Amino acid sequence: RFTFSDLPAGVVTLEAFEAATNTAASAQATVVADQTVTQDLNLTVGGSVAGTVRSGGVPVSGAQVTLSASNGSFTATTGADGRYQIDRIVPGNLAVLAVDPASGLRGRATGSLGLSGQTVTLDIALAATGTVRGTVFRAGGATPAAGVQVSINRNLSGLPATITSDGQGRYSFDLVPLGAFTIDVADAATGDRGRA
C-alpha cells in the first residue's frame, strides 16, 4: 500500500518500478480537493516506444509505423502532429519502420529498451528510397558466390551496411536513399574481392 498526502487538485501520474522482476506500472488519477482518491497499480513487463515521423522536418500525419521487438511486431498510425506511441514492449532491441502511404517515402530507426516502465524515443526521418539487389559471381561470371560479405556505402541509419550472400549468391539492401552508391564484396575464404 502507498499514500501521498496534501497533493494539489488536478491530474497526477503514478509510476512504480520493481528492479528485481523488471516490471513497472503507471496510471493517471484525478485529485479532488478534500477527498481521498484510490488508484491501484498493476506491475507488468514492458515499456513504451514513442516518436515523431517527419519528412523534410515537417511532421507527417497518417504514416504507418511498424515496430519489431523481441515480443512481436506492432503497428500504429501517426496522429495529426506526426507522433506515434506503442506500449507494452518487452525490453530489448527495437527497430521501427515508417511509411507515408501518400508519398511512398520511408524511414527507419533502431534503439533499445532497457527497463520496464521506460519510454524510448525513436524519431524517424522519411526519405525517398529504393532497394538494391543482385547476385555475386565468382571470377568468370558463371558460378554464384555463396556466403561472401557484401557491403553498401549508402543506407539509412540503423540498417546493416554489410550482409552475407545467400546460397545462390544473392543479396538485397532495403531502404537505400536515392543517389549513387558502391557495393563491395569480399570472400574471406579465397581473398577474392569485387566492386560495383
Comparing C-alpha atoms, which of 120, 121, 115 is closest to residue 43?
115
Whole-angstrom CA distances from 67 to 25, 46, 109, 159 are: 21, 14, 10, 14
The tens digit of pLDDT for each residue in 12-43 reads 999 888 888 888 888 889 999 999 999 999 88
- Name the pLDDT band for 196 (thresholds 50, 70, 90): very high
Whole-angstrom CA distances from 90 to 41, 51, 118, 120, 167 are: 18, 17, 10, 12, 34
Helix (H) or strand (E) holding 112: strand 106-113
The tens digit of pLDDT for each residue in 37-60 reads 999 998 888 889 999 999 999 999
CA–centroid distance for 42 within its chain? 27
Average pLDDT of the segment spanning 97-110: 93
> HSE on the CB side for 154, CA within 13 Å?
14
Cell numbers for 22, please give them.
523488471
Pairing of strands 193-195, 83-89: unpaired
Comparing C-alpha atoms, which of 51, 94, 56, 54 is closest to residue 76?
51
Cα–Cα dist 134/18, whole Å: 50
Pairing of strands 47-55, 124-125: parallel
Asked whether the predicted pLDDT for residue 179 surpasses 90, the reply is no
Whole-structure pTM value: 0.67
Q: What percent of the chain has pLDDT over 70?
A: 97
